[in-house]
Structure 1
Amino acid sequence: MSKPKNKPWDKKWEIVKPIGSGGQGDTFLVKPKDSPIWSQSFVLKILKNQKDPERRKRMHREVAALSTLDCPGIPRLIESNSDQFAADVPLYMVGEFIEGKTLSQIVEDPTKPMAIADAINLVLKLLETLQYCHNLGIVHRDIKPDNIIIRCNDISAPVLIDFGISFNECDTDNTTLTPAWQQLGNRFLALPELQVNSSKRDPRADITQCCGILFFAIAGSPPVTLLDCEGRKPHQRPESQKALAKHPDDLLAKVNGIFDRAFGTQIDYRWQSIPELQKALIDCVSATENARNAEQYIARIQNKVSTSSDYARRQSFKELAQQLNRELYNMSRTVAKELGKGFGTVHNRTYLKSRDFERLDIDWTHLKFSERHGITNEFLPNDFFPKFTGAATGNELVLLAEVNGAQVELLRTPLNCEPDLTVLGERLRLFYLEGVRKLIGA
């Protein structure tokens, strides 16, 4: 770093020794010049590229974030002149010095990974800090081993540092700090939501990065990508499986279940909240082999189902499909009754009771169902017997009717909302009447 002649930090701080140098700045161990009663040391961070407007704004953002945070898992901010980021003044900040190694240094030897229970306790503490930040509208976005200091080398006391690319809700209208063309993140774990042309503001990215920390701690290597070139998640790769095989099978099976969900490419199917992940982690370390009574099994099954990322979507689809199938059946009977003597209905299954509508054959892989409801006449050689198909696309269910290879869209409705059955009923009635009219040539 080319040291500027003007050193505003020299007024209050005496440099003891350099600590390190990163992409954003150089750090030094310092002590106050005019406060001899202060026996503890502090960290001085001097912005590396003082002429870069974006880096100056980034330091100001970090200071703004730290100034609102008061948590044992985050270094305390002492002072800074970052509010002068728009002026021609060398920027610096001084914060609490955290005694201890980084997580990268703790897990320096990949042949000696951390015990699963220790790694889980570390991540649980990290998640507490992260929840505190999220509650204040701050998303870190750069959680990696180099940004975690283990206070006094106590694995249960991680400290999250470097809020330089964090997002604060007060930045919502400021797009200059993270342009759409700029990629965020690090080489530790690349996430699609932090890539070019994404919003880069989703707190679930922090949760996924914490799962990456858990993987790093017990496997001894970074996850790097959600999927490799052969479509394998980090814990499914041969080199990872070899490292993970050193851990007890019962615990490893539970952790692999967490990774299965954590490393999905679609963020909506990953861990959605910190409490949800905390519960799963606690279950890993607290479950015992003697918990085999019926009530505990029921609770575990219910928890697994209710915390599944796509359970709500599947449940909504099932309920909506049953509702629409009942409407298809009822409208066919209504139209047949309107047409009068000689007309009846035909269906691909027998419906004797109300709950028969719940016996849908649903393709759960593609979230799709098909049923047939039609109108018949005793004097006609053929029936009007269309095929109805309902399929989920995104967060909607689309209902199609197919006759002789031609499809008609009857309804498009959100999965989590009540469908407009009045509109559907009108469309169905006309659809049935039009089909019968063509069939008899009227």
Structure 2
Amino acid sequence: MAKNKKNQPWKEKWIFVKDLGSGGQGYTQVVKHKDTTASEEFYVLKTLKNQEDAERRKRMHREVTDLKTLDSPNIPKVIDSNSEEFNSNVPLYMVTEYIEGNTLKQQILEQGVIDFSVAINFIKNLLKVIEYCHESGIFHRDIKPDNIIIRNNKLDDPVLIDFGISFNEIYVDETDLTGTWQQLGNRFLGLPEFRLKSNFQRDPRSDITQSCGILFFMLTALYPVELRDQEDKKPHQRHENQKILSKISADYLRLLNTIFDRAFEWQLDQRWQSIPELEIALSRLSEPIINEQKNDIRNSIEAIRNQLYSSPDYTLKSLFKSLVDKIVKEIRDTGFAIGRELGDGFSPSITTGGDEKLGKIDFAKLRFIEQFNIENIFSNKNFVAKFIGYATANEIVVLSERNEEKIELLRVSLNGEPDLVSFRERLRSFYLKGVETSI
């Protein structure tokens, strides 16, 4: 690397116009091509601060690859790059489209907070760009005001830039970049899943949370900074921030707060889980608020629904119940099937007090208990299978008891689908061993 340290291969094609600044990884400049005669034909040159850093070099190559994968007017196109030489000692660079306009940060610094309806429309357009990235398997992970350009300063045309720490699902099996020992994030909004030793650094829901942070910034001109402050308050609940937000119509503010309540939850599984889900909530903020005195019933129903369905507690319990229904159904179906296979004299039954509902769920503790009985009527002996399921931070764990020994039968993400085939086989083995021991 030392031999080429002063070499600047980009100068073979590109002429410096002005500096744009520097970020954590590189420098950016406005340039124009040597062969062009039109001074308006500008582009953006990005070079690395530390050309000898193998990780930074490989990350630039990944960024170029990601940008070439994406084809959207709201994402800059790659014009030129030598990033494919990341394994060599040649200094790397990339050149992209130059987007005319302020960054969102510059816009707020110059003009102050954005009008409420304009901000909502802006976020909805930004979410469409983010959703396109997610559908292409790319998660940005660094959505902040500096990384959004307002094309021609028109607040309906956001352009998402700087994919320097993005993650592409095609690299899901590679661990050489952003392993769990590394910390991601920015000073705009620190997320717990981006901290050291997190297994959720490659989760698209973080982009959704950051986009809600952008909405908060547009309405307050303040960074949300963190999901919880020293008083355990979310960004929109802090006293000074409430004063700024109080200028919004009370009807809209009530709905906006339900969005922020969920957006800034600490646990990832309790925040907004998908962009379409968030878009539905935002659409209510785009509709005119009708005179409340003439629509008391409608508004009351709407308020109850917003409070209920936007509640992370409701979402968590709903996910829990949905999984429990599937798990308990499999416990019962497999138990009855075993009884039929064993033949005459074996009588399977549910032993939860005759309650035909699926399991006995304790929503306060997010636990359920299920018992299933396989009796032999000739020997008057029976095997009582007891199952206990409970939710951890992000999973449901199902345990069974046999001879006072606890056996784990299933572990599944609250947002996932249980592997019912494997679960059924474990249940069959568990039932048959229990019947054999008991009878």
Q: Partner residue of 1:66?
A: 67
Q: Partner residue of 1:131?
A: 131
Q: CA deviation at 1:164?
A: 0.9
1:47-196 correspondence runs (5 A): 47-108=48-109, 112-196=112-196
Cα displacement string for residues 73-125 of structure 1 (whole angstroms, at most 9, x for unaligned residues): 11122111222223332322221111111111222279x42233222222211
Q: Partner residue of 1:357?
A: 356
Residues 396 and 16 (structure 1), Cα distance of their counterparts in 2 relative to 1, 3 Å cut: closer
Larger Cα-atom Rg: 1
Q: Percent identity?
A: 45
**Inter-partner Cα distance in structure 1 for 2:150 and 2:407:** 59
Q: Partner residue of 2:14?
A: 13
Residues 426 and 89 (structure 1), Cα distance of their counterparts in 2 relative to 1, 3 Å cut: closer
Residues 79 and 327 (structure 1), Cα distance of their counterparts in 2 relative to 1, 3 Å cut: closer
CA contact (8 A) 1:50 1:90 kept: yes
SS of equivalent residue, structure 2 residue 356 = helix
**Inter-partner Cα distance in structure 2 for 1:218 and 1:259:** 12
What residue ranges of structure 2 are gaps of 5+ in the alignment? 336-344, 374-383
Task: Give the AA of the match of 2:390.
Answer: A
**Inter-partner Cα distance in structure 2 for 1:348 and 1:286:** 49
Mean Cα deviation higher: 101-110 or 131-140: 101-110
Q: TM-score, normalised by structure 1?
A: 0.75
CA contact (8 A) 1:398 1:412 kept: yes
Q: CA deviation at 1:160?
A: 0.8
Cα RMSD after superposing both structures:
4.3
Residues 400 and 137 (structure 1), Cα distance of their counterparts in 2 relative to 1, 3 Å cut: closer
**Inter-partner Cα distance in structure 2 for 1:116 and 1:242:** 15
Q: Partner residue of 2:244?
A: 243
Task: Give the AA of the match of 1:121.
Answer: N
Q: CA deviation at 1:159?
A: 0.9
Mean Cα deviation higher: 29-38 or 64-73: 29-38
What residue ranges of structure 1 are gaps of 5+ in the alignment? 329-337, 340-344, 375-385, 435-442
1:358-377 correspondence runs (5 A): 358=357, 362-369=361-368
Q: TM-score, normalised by structure 2?
A: 0.76
1:326-337 correspondence runs (5 A): none
Task: Give the AA of the match of 2:12.
Answer: K
Residues 348 and 60 (structure 1), Cα distance of their counterparts in 2 relative to 1, 3 Å cut: closer
**What is the number of equivalent residue pairs in this alignment?**
405
CA contact (8 A) 2:334 2:428 kept: no
Task: Give the AA of the match of 2:323.
Answer: S
Residues 237 and 387 (structure 1), Cα distance of their counterparts in 2 relative to 1, 3 Å cut: farther
CA contact (8 A) 1:410 1:428 kept: no
CA contact (8 A) 1:113 1:218 kept: yes
CA contact (8 A) 1:396 1:412 kept: no
Q: CA deviation at 1:161?
A: 0.8
CA contact (8 A) 1:98 1:151 kept: yes
Residues 108 and 122 (structure 1), Cα distance of their counterparts in 2 relative to 1, 3 Å cut: same
Residues 57 and 429 (structure 1), Cα distance of their counterparts in 2 relative to 1, 3 Å cut: closer
Residues 152 and 52 (structure 1), Cα distance of their counterparts in 2 relative to 1, 3 Å cut: same
1:272-351 correspondence runs (5 A): 272-286=273-287, 288-289=289-290, 304=309, 309-310=315-316, 311-317=318-324
Q: Partner residue of 1:231?
A: 232
SS of equivalent residue, structure 1 residue 358 = coil
**Inter-partner Cα distance in structure 2 for 1:392 and 1:270:** 21
1:416-427 correspondence runs (5 A): 417=418, 420=424
Cα displacement string for residues 333-373 of structure 1 (whole angstroms, at most 9, x for unaligned residues): xxxxx89xxxxx9x996x5xxxx533987431212356899
Residues 326 and 213 (structure 1), Cα distance of their counterparts in 2 relative to 1, 3 Å cut: same
